[in-house]
Each structure stands twice: as C-alpha cells, then as structure tokens.
Structure 1
Amino acid sequence: MLSDDPQRPVRVLIVDDDPWARAALSAILEPREDIEVVGAAGSGEEAIAFARRHRPDVVLMDIQMPGMDGIAATRALLAEVETNVAAMTSVAGAETVARMLEAGAYGYVLKDTPPDALADAVRTVARGDGFLSPRHTRELVERVARGAGAEGRRQAAALFATLTERERDAVRLVATGASDDEIARAMHVAASTAKTHIQQARLKLGARNRTHIAVLVERAGETPLHS
C-alpha cells in the first residue's frame, strides 16, 4: 500500500505472460507523474519473487497465464507481501473474476480499458479501495456473495448487526457503487463524516476494501434492493 509520503508515486508491478502486453501497459502508465512502473514479470513465480524484493504498492496481475495462473499467484503473493492486487483480463468471465476477488484482489480491469481509466484504477487500488470495471460488476458481487453459503450469510448478518444505523446506511450505499460524495449527499452529511462512517464500518466488518464491503452487504441481504 502507499506510504505516508503523498509525493511518492504509486509503485506498480505488471504481471503478464505476453511481452507485448507488458510493454503496452508500461507505455500507458509510465508517463504518469504519480505512477512508477517498477518492474514487469512474465509469470506468477517471477511476480512473487519480484514483489518479495521490491514491495510494489500495486500489482497488475493477468488472470490467464500458463503454469501458475493469476489466481494462484495472487493467493501466494498476498500470503507473503503486503500489496494491493488488481486483476487484468481480456474477457470478463464472471466466475473467473469472482475467484480472483476471493483470492484477495481488490478488483479487476479489462485489458482494453482506456489509458486514463487504467491509471485511475491503479490509483484507486493503491488507496486500498476496490475497483471493478463497469461490465458485470453487480453480477460479480452477487456471485461472490452467494458462494459463501448459508453459514457465510449468517456470519455476514451477525457482522452487519454490529454497525450503527448510520454505518449501515453508508455501507448499503457503498454496495450500490456510490462514491463518497454521493453517499454524503444521500445521507445529508459532510463528505468527511461519510468517510468516517464507511471506515468505521469497514473495520467492524473486517472488510479489505469497498468491493469486500459490497460483498458482505449483499451476503447479509442488506443491499437497498433487499431492504
């Protein structure tokens, strides 16, 4: 994750078995003043070894790779290194991306994402927020939520019950994909207050990021659609 130095650029590791893809992604991100591509790896094993040594803030991880795929690499990498992973894919198959999120990724981006949107995704994930490309977002959250079964739903409901009413309101809105400013307007509070509600709720829920919050809210049956 990012250091306390706001002037330091986001340090990114690109992982893809296609050298052309690695070069293209580097060319997109490297010119950004607030992003530094610190390395590129062609396999999951290379990514883990590089991350151990260089501790990147963000790892852009291709899902489909020969040998150790992105899902296995993400699990192994996050077991050893404190970093934030964003999955990359050419085809947004909901089941595969859902498995990537369950492995600990903060979100996913399509490889044909426009350059500015890709850079924004890197910044978002570096802050510790989840990022999902717009296509299939709701389907993915619902699929991951369902995957936990009855016990997972019971646990999520118990966690949700620990929240204050305002925290519940805030995370229900997070689950709809609302931004902090949109949540603040809906709750008629200052943006800083909305952020505080979200942060306190995230800690109580044990959620890694906003994507994980959305999954837990869905799992508890507390999205606005269900209320």
Structure 2
Amino acid sequence: MTVRVVVADDQELVRAGFGMILDAQPDIEVVAEADNGAEAVAAVREHRPDVLLLDIRMPVMDGIEAAAIVCAETDCRVLMLTTFDLDDYVYDALRAGASGFLLKDVRRADLVHGVRVVAAGESLLAPSVTRKLIAEFTSRSVNRPVTLSATRLSVLTGREQETLQMIARGLSNAEIAQAMVVSEHTVKTHVSNVLTKLGLRDRVQAVIAAYETGLAVPGGTV
C-alpha cells in the first residue's frame, strides 16, 4: 500500500528536498506541495493524503492552525517539522492533533521512518519533545484550558487507567506489559480501549489527557 504525502514548508529547498527523499521510496508518493498553511489545508482537502508533513512556522496560516483544521476535518495524520526541539509551539501543535514531531535536520532514514510510523497510526515523539510537553504542564498549566475533565476517567477500568499512566511516562507496549505482568496483546487492547473511550486520536493525545486530568504528574511514578 502506498503512503500518500503532502509536504508543506515555506522554504522551497527544504520542501523540495524532503519531497525528493520521500518520492524515492517505493511505498511513498508525494501528491502535492504547499508553501503556507492555507495551501496545505487546501491540498489535503483536494488530495486526501495519508500524511501531511507540516512546517510549524509558515506565512498566511501557521502550522498549528493548519494542523487543527486538518485533524478536525480529515483522517490525515500530521507530522510537524521545526528547527528547534524546544520550540515554544510544541505543546500547541500536539494539542491541535499532530501525531508526531521531527526536526528539520532529521536524517534521511529517520524522515522516511517517521512518515511510515505516523501513516501506520502510531505516534512519533522524541524524548526531548516529551520533556518539553511535560515542562509545559509544570510551568504553565494554570493558564491552559482543560479540554478533558478528570471525571471522564471514570469510564476507564483500573487497568486502563494504569495503562494510561504508563503511556504518559513514555513506556512502550512491551515495557507496559512487563510492568503489568500481562501479554503485549492485552496491553494493546487496554491502549485501544483508552483511546476509544476518551475519544483520543493516538498516544500523543493520551499523554496530554493524562496530565490534563491529573492522572499523571511531572516527576511522578506509577
């Protein structure tokens, strides 16, 4: 199955370079390019790609606004691009619905891998970005509107809440399975139930939900 991609970046050389790298893969096709957020949204609406590779800072409409529109209107997965891993917009981009984050100096192999991972429905979040996300809750959470109340967690079983806590700590399914002394298949079921019951797109939004509801706290342990 071919992964259809739209590449959006206001720097032509970056956009063209990423497009060439991705188009060279036998299972990836770049169906359109865009040089601002508005064009990116229009391209997604027209071509219905699997993945939108989206620069976070662009003219006309920035990547955060574009990501929010695309994630609300389509099933297209959004993979954000930025120059710095401590970009002030990391939290907002992920909260808008982005499924992953890559630095613009990403290696060729990691770019291709990132697109494939996000297209497969998984999230892509580097450790440095996870730390930034948690730091946001520590220093600025009082000024953030909470979109998921703690009472919503009542729909989760005890095991599902435990799974959500471990997701927030960045544990993989294998690590969660080891900690809970269950099979990876059972963990996958718990993760799927958490996402479905809370109406979340992926593990990235699960991390956000865990901290917003107070189920997980910076520096805390399960």
TM-score by length of 1: 0.86
Equivalent-residue separation in structure 2 for 1:46 and 1:189 (angstroms):
47
**Is residue 168–residue 216 contact of structure 2 (8 Å, CA) maintained in 1?**
yes
**Counterparts of residues 30-179 of structure 1 (less than 5 Å):** 30-143=23-136, 147=141, 152=146, 155-179=148-172
Q: 1:60 deviation in Å?
A: 0.6
**What's the secondary structure of 2:75's corresponding residue?**
coil
Residue 187 (structure 1) aligned to one of 180, 198, 213: 180
Displacement of 1:127 = 2.5
**1:16 and 2:9 are equivalent in the alignment:** yes
Q: Distance in 2 between matches of 1:144 and 1:212?
A: 14
Distance in 2 separating the partners of 1:150 and 1:99: 10
Q: 1:130 to 1:11 in 2, by over 3 A?
A: same
Separation in structure 2 between the aligned mates of residue 147 and residue 214 of structure 1, nearest angstrom: 14
Take 1:187 and 1:71, find their aligned partners in 2: how far apart are those partners? 36
Distance in 1 between the 2:137 and 2:116 partners?
24
Distance 1:150 1:65, change over 3 A: closer
- Quote the residue 1:209 is aligned against: 202
Q: CA deviation at 1:14?
A: 0.5
The alignment covers a number of residue pairs equal to 219
Query: 2:112 & 2:142 partners in 1: Cα distance?
Result: 32
Deviation at 1:214, TM superposition (A): 0.8
1:199 aligns with 2:187: no
Judge conservation of contact 2:97–2:205 (CA < 8 Å) in 1: no
What SS is found at the alignment partner of 1:68? coil
Distance 1:194 1:10, change over 3 A: same
* In 2: Cα distance, 1:132 partner to 1:30 partner: 23
Contact 2:90/2:132 (<8 A) preserved: no
CA offsets 1:121-140 (integer angstroms, 9 cap, x no match): 21222133322223231221
Q: CA deviation at 1:149?
A: 5.6
What's the secondary structure of 2:61's corresponding residue?
coil
Moved more, 32-41 or 209-218: 32-41
Identical residues among aligned pairs (%): 38
Consecutive unaligned residues in structure 2, runs of 5 or more: none
The alpha carbon displacement at 1:56 in A equals 0.3
- For residues 76-100 of structure 1, what are the alpha-carbon distances to aligned partners after superposition, in whole Å with 9 as ceiling and x for unaligned? 3334333111110012344312121
Aligned-partner Cα distance in 2 for 1:142–1:158: 24
State the distance in 2 between where 1:99 and 1:171 align: 21
What is the deviation of 1:144?
A: 5.7
Query: For residues 41 and 148 of structure 1, do their structure 2 counterparts lie closer, same or farther at Cα, with a shift above 3 Å needed?
Result: farther
Q: Is the 8 A contact 1:12 1:35 kept in 2?
A: yes
**Corresponding letter in the other structure for 2:129:** H
- Distance in 2 (CA, whole Å) between partners of 1:139 and 1:45 is 27
Secondary structure of the 2:211 match is helix
- The two structures, once aligned, show a CA RMSD in angstroms of 2.3
Asked if the contact 1:129/1:211 (under 8 Å) is kept, the reply is no
- Structure 1 residue runs without a partner (length 5+): 1-7
